[in-house]
Amino acid sequence: MAEIKADETVDVTHLVCPNTFVKAKVVLDELDEGQILAVRLNDGEPAQNVPRSLKEEGHQILSLDENGDGTYTLYVKKVGD
Amino acid sequence: MALTDEQIERYSRHILLKEVGSKGQKKLLEAKVVIIGAGGLGCPVGLYLAAAGVGTIGVADADVVDLSNLQRQVAHTTADLGKPKVESLKESIQAINPDVKVNTYQEFIDSSNIRQIIRDYDFVIDGTDNFAAKFLINDACVMEKKPFCHAGILRFNGQLMTYIPGQGPCYRCVFKEMPPKDAIPTCRQAGVIGAMAGVIGCLQAMEAVKFITGAGKLLVGELQTYDGLNNVFRKVKLPPCNGKCAVCGDNPTITELVDYEQPTCELKH
Protein backbone atom coordinates (compact mmCIF):
# COMPACT_ATOMS: atom_id res chain seq x y z
CA MET A 1 0.00 0.00 0.00
CA ALA A 2 1.25 3.43 -0.88
CA GLU A 3 2.46 5.60 1.96
CA ILE A 4 -0.34 7.70 3.45
CA LYS A 5 0.40 11.35 4.01
CA ALA A 6 -1.16 12.67 7.19
CA ASP A 7 -2.24 16.30 7.59
CA GLU A 8 -1.93 16.09 11.36
CA THR A 9 -0.53 13.64 13.89
CA VAL A 10 -1.35 12.95 17.51
CA ASP A 11 0.27 10.62 20.02
CA VAL A 12 -2.09 9.06 22.55
CA THR A 13 0.25 6.36 23.89
CA HIS A 14 0.41 8.16 27.26
CA LEU A 15 -3.37 8.01 27.67
CA VAL A 16 -5.87 5.33 28.66
CA CYS A 17 -9.37 4.69 27.31
CA PRO A 18 -11.60 6.60 26.78
CA ASN A 19 -9.14 9.53 26.78
CA THR A 20 -7.27 8.00 23.84
CA PHE A 21 -10.36 8.40 21.66
CA VAL A 22 -11.29 11.74 23.24
CA LYS A 23 -7.88 13.21 22.41
CA ALA A 24 -7.99 11.84 18.85
CA LYS A 25 -11.50 13.24 18.44
CA VAL A 26 -10.50 16.70 19.68
CA VAL A 27 -7.65 16.86 17.16
CA LEU A 28 -9.85 15.51 14.36
CA ASP A 29 -12.51 18.14 15.15
CA GLU A 30 -10.01 20.83 14.16
CA LEU A 31 -9.37 19.33 10.72
CA ASP A 32 -11.33 19.96 7.55
CA GLU A 33 -13.40 17.31 5.82
CA GLY A 34 -11.20 14.92 3.83
CA GLN A 35 -8.03 15.63 5.81
CA ILE A 36 -6.11 12.74 7.31
CA LEU A 37 -5.07 12.28 10.92
CA ALA A 38 -2.36 9.85 12.05
CA VAL A 39 -2.88 8.56 15.59
CA ARG A 40 -0.07 6.76 17.42
CA LEU A 41 -1.56 4.37 19.93
CA ASN A 42 -0.70 1.39 22.11
CA ASP A 43 -1.47 -2.22 21.34
CA GLY A 44 -4.44 -3.79 23.12
CA GLU A 45 -7.48 -1.78 24.15
CA PRO A 46 -6.54 1.48 22.38
CA ALA A 47 -5.79 -0.28 19.08
CA GLN A 48 -9.20 -1.97 19.31
CA ASN A 49 -11.35 0.85 20.65
CA VAL A 50 -10.06 4.00 18.95
CA PRO A 51 -10.59 2.86 15.32
CA ARG A 52 -14.01 1.44 16.23
CA SER A 53 -15.16 4.63 17.95
CA LEU A 54 -13.92 6.85 15.11
CA LYS A 55 -15.72 4.62 12.63
CA GLU A 56 -18.93 4.88 14.69
CA GLU A 57 -18.72 8.66 14.34
CA GLY A 58 -18.68 8.24 10.59
CA HIS A 59 -14.99 8.74 9.86
CA GLN A 60 -13.10 6.56 7.42
CA ILE A 61 -10.37 4.25 8.74
CA LEU A 62 -7.60 4.05 6.12
CA SER A 63 -5.14 1.74 7.84
CA LEU A 64 -3.74 0.53 11.14
CA ASP A 65 0.00 -0.06 10.84
CA GLU A 66 2.16 -1.86 13.36
CA ASN A 67 5.23 0.17 14.25
CA GLY A 68 7.21 -2.79 15.66
CA ASP A 69 7.64 -1.19 19.10
CA GLY A 70 4.29 -2.22 20.60
CA THR A 71 2.55 0.79 19.12
CA TYR A 72 0.36 1.26 16.08
CA THR A 73 -0.29 4.17 13.76
CA LEU A 74 -3.90 4.63 12.77
CA TYR A 75 -4.70 6.67 9.66
CA VAL A 76 -8.20 8.13 9.68
CA LYS A 77 -9.87 10.39 7.14
CA LYS A 78 -12.29 12.98 8.44
CA VAL A 79 -15.85 12.61 7.14
CA GLY A 80 -18.42 15.36 7.72
CA ASP A 81 -17.97 18.59 9.61
CA MET B 1 -9.42 28.73 21.61
CA ALA B 2 -7.90 25.27 21.97
CA LEU B 3 -8.89 22.99 24.81
CA THR B 4 -6.10 22.27 27.29
CA ASP B 5 -5.25 18.66 28.19
CA GLU B 6 -6.87 19.25 31.57
CA GLN B 7 -10.06 20.51 29.90
CA ILE B 8 -10.07 17.56 27.49
CA GLU B 9 -9.99 15.22 30.48
CA ARG B 10 -12.49 17.19 32.60
CA TYR B 11 -15.02 17.38 29.78
CA SER B 12 -14.19 14.03 28.14
CA ARG B 13 -17.69 12.64 28.77
CA HIS B 14 -19.13 15.61 26.86
CA ILE B 15 -16.56 15.43 24.08
CA LEU B 16 -17.38 11.75 23.60
CA LEU B 17 -20.92 12.72 22.64
CA LYS B 18 -21.38 13.17 18.92
CA GLU B 19 -23.92 15.97 19.57
CA VAL B 20 -21.45 17.93 21.72
CA GLY B 21 -17.85 17.10 20.81
CA SER B 22 -15.06 19.60 21.32
CA LYS B 23 -16.96 22.22 19.33
CA GLY B 24 -19.94 22.01 21.67
CA GLN B 25 -17.67 22.09 24.70
CA LYS B 26 -16.01 25.24 23.43
CA LYS B 27 -19.43 26.82 22.99
CA LEU B 28 -20.24 25.94 26.61
CA LEU B 29 -16.98 27.49 27.79
CA GLU B 30 -17.79 30.69 25.95
CA ALA B 31 -21.45 30.82 27.04
CA LYS B 32 -23.02 33.15 29.59
CA VAL B 33 -26.08 32.09 31.56
CA VAL B 34 -27.83 34.06 34.31
CA ILE B 35 -29.83 32.28 37.00
CA ILE B 36 -32.51 34.35 38.70
CA GLY B 37 -33.15 32.82 42.11
CA ALA B 38 -30.46 30.83 43.94
CA GLY B 39 -32.97 28.51 45.61
CA GLY B 40 -34.41 25.08 44.94
CA LEU B 41 -34.21 25.39 41.15
CA GLY B 42 -31.21 27.72 40.93
CA CYS B 43 -28.97 25.44 42.99
CA PRO B 44 -29.06 22.36 40.74
CA VAL B 45 -29.01 24.54 37.63
CA GLY B 46 -25.91 26.34 38.92
CA LEU B 47 -24.14 23.15 39.92
CA TYR B 48 -24.78 21.33 36.64
CA LEU B 49 -23.94 24.32 34.45
CA ALA B 50 -20.74 24.78 36.45
CA ALA B 51 -19.82 21.14 36.02
CA ALA B 52 -20.65 21.43 32.32
CA GLY B 53 -18.13 24.24 32.00
CA VAL B 54 -20.47 27.12 31.19
CA GLY B 55 -17.89 29.90 31.19
CA THR B 56 -19.83 32.68 32.87
CA ILE B 57 -22.69 32.18 35.31
CA GLY B 58 -24.66 35.07 36.77
CA VAL B 59 -26.55 34.49 40.01
CA ALA B 60 -29.23 36.88 41.26
CA ASP B 61 -30.94 36.59 44.65
CA ALA B 62 -31.46 38.99 47.55
CA ASP B 63 -31.97 36.35 50.25
CA VAL B 64 -29.70 34.74 52.81
CA VAL B 65 -29.61 31.01 53.49
CA ASP B 66 -32.30 29.92 55.97
CA LEU B 67 -32.55 26.58 57.77
CA SER B 68 -35.82 25.75 55.96
CA ASN B 69 -34.01 26.09 52.59
CA LEU B 70 -31.63 23.19 53.16
CA GLN B 71 -34.23 20.47 52.52
CA ARG B 72 -33.99 21.21 48.78
CA GLN B 73 -31.45 23.96 48.00
CA VAL B 74 -28.53 21.60 47.59
CA ALA B 75 -25.75 24.09 46.88
CA HIS B 76 -26.15 25.59 50.36
CA THR B 77 -24.91 23.80 53.46
CA THR B 78 -25.58 24.06 57.17
CA ALA B 79 -22.38 26.07 57.49
CA ASP B 80 -23.84 28.63 55.06
CA LEU B 81 -26.78 29.63 57.28
CA GLY B 82 -27.16 33.41 57.26
CA LYS B 83 -24.86 33.81 54.27
CA PRO B 84 -26.15 35.51 51.10
CA LYS B 85 -27.40 32.78 48.77
CA VAL B 86 -25.50 34.26 45.85
CA GLU B 87 -22.23 33.90 47.79
CA SER B 88 -23.00 30.38 48.93
CA LEU B 89 -23.92 29.25 45.39
CA LYS B 90 -20.86 30.99 43.98
CA GLU B 91 -18.61 29.06 46.40
CA SER B 92 -20.23 25.75 45.45
CA ILE B 93 -19.88 26.52 41.75
CA GLN B 94 -16.21 27.42 42.07
CA ALA B 95 -15.49 24.39 44.23
CA ILE B 96 -16.77 22.21 41.38
CA ASN B 97 -15.12 24.15 38.59
CA PRO B 98 -12.69 26.98 39.26
CA ASP B 99 -12.71 27.90 35.55
CA VAL B 100 -16.23 29.31 35.81
CA LYS B 101 -16.57 33.06 36.24
CA VAL B 102 -19.45 33.88 38.60
CA ASN B 103 -21.15 37.27 38.68
CA THR B 104 -23.35 37.82 41.73
CA TYR B 105 -26.31 40.19 42.04
CA GLN B 106 -27.42 40.31 45.66
CA GLU B 107 -30.55 42.35 45.09
CA PHE B 108 -34.28 41.98 44.56
CA ILE B 109 -34.85 41.67 40.85
CA ASP B 110 -37.45 44.18 39.74
CA SER B 111 -38.43 46.37 36.83
CA SER B 112 -35.59 48.79 37.59
CA ASN B 113 -32.68 46.36 37.25
CA ILE B 114 -33.68 43.19 35.39
CA ARG B 115 -33.16 44.37 31.81
CA GLN B 116 -29.72 45.67 32.61
CA ILE B 117 -28.73 42.37 34.24
CA ILE B 118 -29.98 39.94 31.58
CA ARG B 119 -28.62 42.03 28.70
CA ASP B 120 -25.10 40.59 29.19
CA TYR B 121 -26.17 36.95 28.96
CA ASP B 122 -27.04 34.41 26.27
CA PHE B 123 -29.67 32.49 28.24
CA VAL B 124 -31.80 33.20 31.31
CA ILE B 125 -32.98 30.68 33.92
CA ASP B 126 -36.15 31.47 35.86
CA GLY B 127 -35.50 29.87 39.23
CA THR B 128 -37.94 32.07 41.15
CA ASP B 129 -40.81 31.03 43.39
CA ASN B 130 -43.53 33.60 42.72
CA PHE B 131 -45.72 34.76 39.87
CA ALA B 132 -44.69 38.41 40.06
CA ALA B 133 -41.10 37.45 39.32
CA LYS B 134 -42.10 34.97 36.61
CA PHE B 135 -44.11 37.55 34.67
CA LEU B 136 -41.34 40.10 35.16
CA ILE B 137 -38.70 37.70 33.82
CA ASN B 138 -40.90 36.78 30.85
CA ASP B 139 -41.67 40.37 29.92
CA ALA B 140 -38.06 41.46 30.32
CA CYS B 141 -36.81 38.55 28.20
CA VAL B 142 -39.34 39.34 25.46
CA MET B 143 -38.28 43.00 25.48
CA GLU B 144 -34.57 42.15 25.46
CA LYS B 145 -35.07 39.29 22.98
CA LYS B 146 -33.45 36.82 25.37
CA PRO B 147 -34.20 33.10 25.41
CA PHE B 148 -35.16 31.76 28.83
CA CYS B 149 -36.37 28.66 30.57
CA HIS B 150 -39.33 29.01 32.91
CA ALA B 151 -39.98 26.49 35.67
CA GLY B 152 -42.23 26.14 38.67
CA ILE B 153 -42.54 23.53 41.40
CA LEU B 154 -45.15 22.89 44.07
CA ARG B 155 -45.80 19.87 46.30
CA PHE B 156 -45.08 16.81 44.11
CA ASN B 157 -45.49 18.66 40.80
CA GLY B 158 -43.25 20.59 38.50
CA GLN B 159 -43.35 22.18 35.07
CA LEU B 160 -41.07 23.93 32.64
CA MET B 161 -41.03 25.51 29.19
CA THR B 162 -38.51 27.38 27.08
CA TYR B 163 -39.02 30.64 25.24
CA ILE B 164 -36.93 31.48 22.20
CA PRO B 165 -37.66 34.91 20.68
CA GLY B 166 -39.62 34.60 17.46
CA GLN B 167 -39.95 30.83 17.69
CA GLY B 168 -42.83 30.10 20.02
CA PRO B 169 -45.23 31.35 22.65
CA CYS B 170 -43.97 33.24 25.68
CA TYR B 171 -45.03 32.58 29.26
CA ARG B 172 -47.62 35.36 29.01
CA CYS B 173 -49.11 33.90 25.79
CA VAL B 174 -49.89 30.83 27.88
CA PHE B 175 -50.72 32.22 31.32
CA LYS B 176 -51.97 35.72 30.34
CA GLU B 177 -51.77 37.45 33.71
CA MET B 178 -51.10 37.10 37.41
CA PRO B 179 -53.45 34.70 39.15
CA PRO B 180 -55.72 36.32 41.75
CA LYS B 181 -54.10 36.74 45.14
CA ASP B 182 -54.12 33.53 47.18
CA ALA B 183 -55.58 31.50 44.29
CA ILE B 184 -52.37 29.47 44.15
CA PRO B 185 -50.52 28.58 47.33
CA THR B 186 -46.75 29.08 47.45
CA CYS B 187 -44.14 26.50 48.42
CA ARG B 188 -43.99 28.24 51.75
CA GLN B 189 -47.68 27.52 52.37
CA ALA B 190 -48.10 24.25 50.53
CA GLY B 191 -44.73 22.53 50.73
CA VAL B 192 -42.63 20.92 48.04
CA ILE B 193 -40.71 17.68 47.87
CA GLY B 194 -36.99 18.45 47.81
CA ALA B 195 -36.13 16.16 44.93
CA MET B 196 -38.71 17.96 42.75
CA ALA B 197 -36.39 20.98 42.70
CA GLY B 198 -33.61 18.67 41.55
CA VAL B 199 -35.64 17.01 38.80
CA ILE B 200 -37.00 20.23 37.33
CA GLY B 201 -33.79 22.23 37.90
CA CYS B 202 -31.80 19.57 36.07
CA LEU B 203 -34.27 19.73 33.17
CA GLN B 204 -33.70 23.49 33.04
CA ALA B 205 -29.94 22.92 32.98
CA MET B 206 -30.53 20.45 30.13
CA GLU B 207 -32.43 23.12 28.19
CA ALA B 208 -29.59 25.61 28.67
CA VAL B 209 -26.97 23.09 27.55
CA LYS B 210 -29.01 22.13 24.47
CA PHE B 211 -29.57 25.78 23.60
CA ILE B 212 -25.84 26.52 23.84
CA THR B 213 -24.61 23.46 21.96
CA GLY B 214 -27.47 23.31 19.46
CA ALA B 215 -28.08 19.65 20.33
CA GLY B 216 -31.57 18.22 20.15
CA LYS B 217 -34.91 19.93 20.50
CA LEU B 218 -35.94 22.54 23.05
CA LEU B 219 -39.21 22.78 24.96
CA VAL B 220 -40.43 25.58 22.71
CA GLY B 221 -44.19 25.58 22.24
CA GLU B 222 -44.47 22.78 24.76
CA LEU B 223 -44.96 22.65 28.50
CA GLN B 224 -43.29 19.71 30.20
CA THR B 225 -45.02 18.63 33.38
CA TYR B 226 -43.97 16.10 36.00
CA ASP B 227 -46.28 14.47 38.51
CA GLY B 228 -43.91 12.91 41.02
CA LEU B 229 -46.54 11.03 43.01
CA ASN B 230 -47.71 9.08 39.97
CA ASN B 231 -44.46 9.10 37.97
CA VAL B 232 -46.04 10.84 35.01
CA PHE B 233 -44.11 13.06 32.63
CA ARG B 234 -46.32 14.84 30.11
CA LYS B 235 -45.69 17.28 27.32
CA VAL B 236 -48.56 19.66 26.70
CA LYS B 237 -48.55 21.24 23.27
CA LEU B 238 -49.01 25.00 23.55
CA PRO B 239 -50.85 27.05 20.95
CA PRO B 240 -48.53 29.33 19.00
CA CYS B 241 -48.64 33.06 19.77
CA ASN B 242 -51.80 34.37 18.08
CA GLY B 243 -50.35 37.84 17.74
CA LYS B 244 -52.60 39.16 20.51
CA CYS B 245 -50.23 38.58 23.45
CA ALA B 246 -49.93 41.69 25.60
CA VAL B 247 -46.15 41.58 25.52
CA CYS B 248 -44.93 39.53 22.52
CA GLY B 249 -47.93 40.13 20.22
CA ASP B 250 -48.14 42.38 17.17
CA ASN B 251 -49.44 45.38 19.11
CA PRO B 252 -48.15 44.91 22.64
CA THR B 253 -49.93 46.80 25.41
CA ILE B 254 -47.12 46.10 27.84
CA THR B 255 -44.17 48.13 26.67
CA GLU B 256 -42.74 49.02 30.07
CA LEU B 257 -42.02 46.60 32.88
CA VAL B 258 -44.29 46.70 35.90
CA ASP B 259 -43.70 45.37 39.40
CA TYR B 260 -46.64 43.27 40.52
CA GLU B 261 -47.40 43.20 44.19
CA GLN B 262 -46.16 40.02 45.81
CA PRO B 263 -48.22 38.39 48.53
CA THR B 264 -46.62 39.51 51.78
CA CYS B 265 -46.06 35.97 53.03
CA GLU B 266 -43.50 35.51 50.26
CA LEU B 267 -41.33 38.33 51.45
CA LYS B 268 -39.03 37.54 54.29
CA HIS B 269 -37.20 40.23 56.12
pLDDT, tens digit only, all 269 positions of chain B: 789 999 999 999 999 999 999 999 999 999 999 999 999 999 999 999 999 999 999 999 999 999 999 999 999 999 999 999 999 999 999 999 999 999 999 999 999 999 999 999 999 999 999 999 999 999 999 999 999 999 999 999 999 999 999 999 999 999 998 888 777 777 677 899 999 999 999 999 999 999 999 999 999 999 999 999 999 999 999 999 889 999 999 999 999 998 887 655 544 43
For residues B239, B245, B250 and B254, what is the CA-based torsion angle, rounded to 10 degrees? -160
Chain A residues with CB under 8 Å of a chain B CB are 18-19, 21-23, 25-26, 29-30, 57
The residues with which A38 forms a beta bridge, in sequence order, are: A9, A75
B173 is a domain residue? yes
The alpha carbon of residue B30 is apart from the nearest alpha carbon of chain A, in Å, by: 17
B17 is a domain residue? no
Q: Do A25 and B21 touch (CB under 8 A)?
A: yes
B2 is a domain residue? no
B14 is a domain residue? no
Provide the domain count of chain B: 1
Nearest to B22 among A21, A29, A57 (CB): A29
d(CA B97, CA B2): 18
**Helix ranges (DSSP H) in chain B:** 5-10, 12-15, 21-30, 42-52, 85-96, 114-118, 131-144, 171-175, 187-190, 194-213
Question: What is the sign of the dihedral through the CA atoms of B213, B218, B224 and B230?
Answer: negative
Closest residue on chain B to A81 (Cα)? B23
Assign residue B224 the CATH number of its domain: 3.40.50.720
Nearest to B8 among A22, A30, A57 (CB): A22
DSSP category for residue B111: T
d(CA B39, CA B133): 14
pLDDT at A2: 60
Task: Single out the residue of B54, B7, B38 nearest to residue B206, CA to CA.
Answer: B54
Catalytic residues of A: 17
d(CA B208, CA B169): 18
Q: Is B101 on the interface with A (CB under 8 A)?
A: no
Q: Would you place residue A41 in the very low, low, confident or very high pLDDT band (cuts 50, 70, 90)?
A: very high
Q: What is the DSSP string of B12-73?
A: HHHHTSTTTHHHHHHHHHH-EEEEE--STTHHHHHHHHHHHT-SEEEEE---B--GGGTTT-
Helix (H, G, I), strand (E, B) or coil at B101: strand
B6 is a domain residue? no
Nearest to B12 among A19, A29, A30 (CB): A19
pLDDT at B258: 86
B11 is a domain residue? no
Helix (H, G, I), strand (E, B) or coil at B8: helix
pLDDT at B187: 67
d(CA B141, CA B144): 5
Q: Do B22 and A18 touch (CB under 8 A)?
A: no
B73 is a domain residue? yes
Look up the ipTM and state it. Answer: 0.84
Report whether CATH 1.20.140 matches the domain A8-65.
no
Residue B21: its chain A contacts at CB < 8 A?
Answer: 25, 29
B26 is a domain residue? no
Q: Which domain holds residue B174?
A: 31-266
Task: Single out the residue of B169, B149, B125, B142 nearest to residue B253, CA to CA.
Answer: B142
Q: Is B96 exposed, middle or buried (0-12, 13-18, 19+ CB in 10 A)?
A: middle
Contact (Cβ atoms closer than 8 angstroms) between residue B40 and residue B65 = no
pLDDT at B269: 39
What is the pTM (predicted TM-score) of this model?
0.92
Backbone φ, ψ for residue B133 (5° rounding): -70, -35
